[in-house]
Structure 1
């Protein structure tokens, strides 16, 4: 049975088509979604876990060398890899929050896949991370359905994160394909996420329309301008219906990062000076929360940077605040800060103020945030999203009949208002914010694998 698989930046979900109706598949209890997170005792455990527990072998020499290195390092640490060593989703987050400094935790590895300049070993490790997550999803899907699942359509953004343009897209899609094949999917195809979301909306149309799909996910915003409706439904060749595409890596994660940077990091010393009157470098406050930037995370959590941070505390006019930055480093707590920024974003979608609480190793930092302050904080990513909408309309050369907004971050009244301000006379509709992409992928899978 073919499935649609949304391997999302924020969440993963799957669905199938039965007699023309989409059925989402429960993956954990009654939950249809698994957060795109993974946790293990060390990063090396992931690769050995694939080999020893899941019997998933490397596919090339680089992978074999990487696995041998992982086994050796785990052996030196006295780690005997077991089936329950690797956690996913909410279990991974809970374990990380219990003791951040003693586990390896990663959120949204999809954000890294298009990064250029990575060594072969780094690309192999990213593939192992994705493979472990996909194998977990496939196993839970087969358990729920009671049958083997080997065919899938996986959603992908119009453009992955990376400065290599199409080269970044090729690299990222290659990692996803190899990971999916190793996880047991024999037939793997891809579909643009906004196109998939549009296919689900199309099922509700009774007449053809020009639809601008705006998909604001956790890591990307993608816009697809499509001709949709009964005249196009069921066709495998949709080339003439695709009027325009635009997309880049700006989404819910960016809203959280900018909220944390603009509203939280002053409590960690941003904007303060040394005793000599020099500004504390801004990168020290950006890098720990830039969870979608591999190089930024590596620079902040490097051992040499801890020494530099301690020196900054000694030289600071406000050492108490800079000391919190040291705690952030020691506890590897950037994800915890971003999680509270996400809670702030959600709360301020429905209320005018929120009291953020960041739990550090030795204290709780309380930060009041107004809705107007968050709007100001996320002005840059909001502007980028508006630019993508404008680009798609200009490419098509026509105005949309309707805007279909989807993706978890599209729930934000701030973002909906920003799009509506650009198209004041165009109706904006929405469906299942989290499930429309998955549903469209399931429809496409059923169509192409018949």
Structure 2
């Protein structure tokens, strides 16, 4: 027997769901009984194994030698996709790495179901790449090729915010105009959707989608911006050369702040460049800490700590940041106000994209009945407060921020492939 499923391959976390015999969508347990699995791989050099999800992060945190790969979705449709990364004696392309991760999701789900999965509805952002239709088509094609290589024979795509709307629609009693706000790890998507229990099973819902818009901003961008604003200055960003004629190069700090670029700093030439910078730097000790951090390959762990600080500021007004590097600490304090300042331009772009969504639909904010929030980045205070200010009269509905897209994709799989899927 072969089955169909909905697969939400996210920048930060992934889920896989299907509709059960009772007609209700369910997410399968992918790791340690949990429905979400971090979209992370760790290629262990000591045991020659590939670790996935939380196990991959645990291997990395314990200091095992290997290569951590995260935020893989962010490279789709970009020039980085053509790059390769060295894993011991092999060089792997990003398509192969993404396929390896998706293949593991498939194997785990098939083990739980006792049947083969050959048909899938994949979630996709409204835009993989901003304002570039050709790059967007390329990104979907790259993802489809990676999925097909893992044994999926029939592949359909659905916008992630539309999938979230399908999940929400199960709980409404009448027709509503909903703005789906899907703020994920790599992209932010907005969709105005007419939801109604009477329309839930319709084969063609295109008429209910009044407008969509998206922008390539997400949680990993927030991590990068917070790191550049509050952490990288502790490593020398913004300081000058000894002769006072110029600032230190920004590029290494940008790479260290960006999940999918960190591995570039581990190249021997990048380290030579940093040591050359050290000889010129007026704040040499800060740069020396940067070099130690790169030599010890602590980059992903550092940005993981930045992400943890960002999350802590969802519930606190201030958090202390302390990150050890050999015999010293990177130490600073981060407040909610400083986080908001770091994200100000990105939040403004999110607001502009919401405005474009409303403009395309030809409606004002007061016509929106429900504000459906999904994706972990909707919990960031600077974001949630702005959304509340834009739609003061709308009902705010917080879905399962990590699971609603996967549930909606499971419902879509049933619609696309039929009830006997």
Q: 2:202 aligns with which of 235, 245, 250?
A: 235
Contact 1:234 1:447 in 2 (8 A): yes
Query: Is the 8 Å Cα contact of residues 81 and 94 (structure 2) preserved in structure 1?
Result: no
d(CA) in 2 for partners of 1:387 and 1:372?
21
Structure with greater strand share of residues: 2
**Which residue pairs with 2:324 in the alignment?**
359
5+ residue gaps, structure 2, are 86-90
Tell me, in whole angstroms, the C-alpha distance in 2 between the residues paired with 1:162 and 1:326: 34
- Spell out the pairing of 1:337-352 with structure 2 (5 A cutoff): 337-352=302-317
Q: In the alignment, does 2:259 pair up with 1:291? A: yes
Question: By how many angstroms is 1:120 displaced?
Answer: 8.4
What value does the CA root-mean-square deviation take over the aligned residues? 2.1
Within 5 Å, give how 1:199-214 maps onto structure 2: 199-214=166-181
Partner of 1:111: 74
For the 8 Å contact 1:406–1:434, the answer to whether it is kept is yes
Q: Which moved more, 1:314-323 or 1:250-259?
A: 314-323
Answering whether residue 51 of structure 2 is matched by residue 87 of structure 1, we say: yes
| Alignment counterpart, residue 33 of structure 2, candidates 30, 34, 58 | 30
In structure 1, the residue corresponding to 2:193 is in which secondary structure?
strand
Listed one character per residue, the Cα deviations across residues 281-323 of structure 1 (whole Å, up to 9, x for unaligned) are 222321221224x5x863x444223222112212222111011
With over 3 angstroms needed to count, the CA separation of the structure-2 counterparts of 1:9 and 1:117, relative to structure 1, is closer
1:195 corresponds, among 162, 166, 185, to 162
1:447 aligns with 2:415: yes
Q: How far, CA to CA, are the matches of 1:182 and 1:16 in structure 2? A: 21
Cα distance in 2 for partners of 1:291, 1:121 equals 16
Q: What's the counterpart of residue 384 of structure 1?
A: 349
CA contact (8 A) 2:210 2:361 kept: yes
2:42 to 29, 39, 42: 39
Q: 1:313 aligns with which of 253, 272, 278?
A: 278
Residues 344 and 24 (structure 1 numbering): CA distance in 2 closer, same or farther, change over 3 Å?
Answer: same
Paired with 2:84 and 2:323, the residues of 1 have a C-alpha distance of 35
Which whole-Å CA distance do the structure 2 matches of 1:308 and 1:147 have between them?
52
Residue 16 of structure 1 is matched in structure 2 by 18
C-alpha distance in 1 between matches for 2:52 and 2:82: 26
Match of 2:88 in 1: none
Q: Find the aligned partners of 1:198 and 1:124 in 2 and give their Cα distance.
A: 37
Mark the CA change 1:179 to 1:119 in structure 2 (over 3 Å): closer, same or farther. closer
Question: Which runs of 5 or more structure 1 residues have no equivalent in the other structure?
Answer: 43-78
TM-score for the superposition, normalised by structure 1 = 0.85
Distance change (3 Å), C-alpha of 1:183 and 1:328: same
Aligned equivalents of 1:322, 1:121: Cα separation in 2: 28
How far residue 333 of structure 1 moved from its aligned partner, in angstroms, is 2.6
SS in 2 for 1:150: strand
Sort the Cα spacing of 1:121 and 1:29 in 2 relative to 1 into closer, same or farther, 3 A: closer
Q: 1:403-422 CA deviation, whole Å, 9 max, x = no partner?
A: 11111111223311111122
The aligned counterpart of 1:65 is none
Matches within 5 A, 1:390-405: 390-398=355-363, 399-405=367-373
What displacement does 1:357 show?
Answer: 2.1
Contact 2:82 2:93 in 1 (8 A): no
Instruction: Describe the superposition over 1:4-30 as per-residue Cα deviations: whole angstroms up to 9, x where unpaired.
Output: 111110011111112221211111122
Distance 1:168 1:150 in 2: 27
How many pairs align?
Answer: 406
Q: 1:57-68 residue pairs with structure 2 within 5 A?
A: none
SS in 1 for 2:360: helix
- TM-score, with normalisation over the residues of structure 2? 0.91
* Partner SS for 1:321: helix
Where 1:236 maps in the other structure, the secondary structure is coil
Offset, 1:158: 0.7
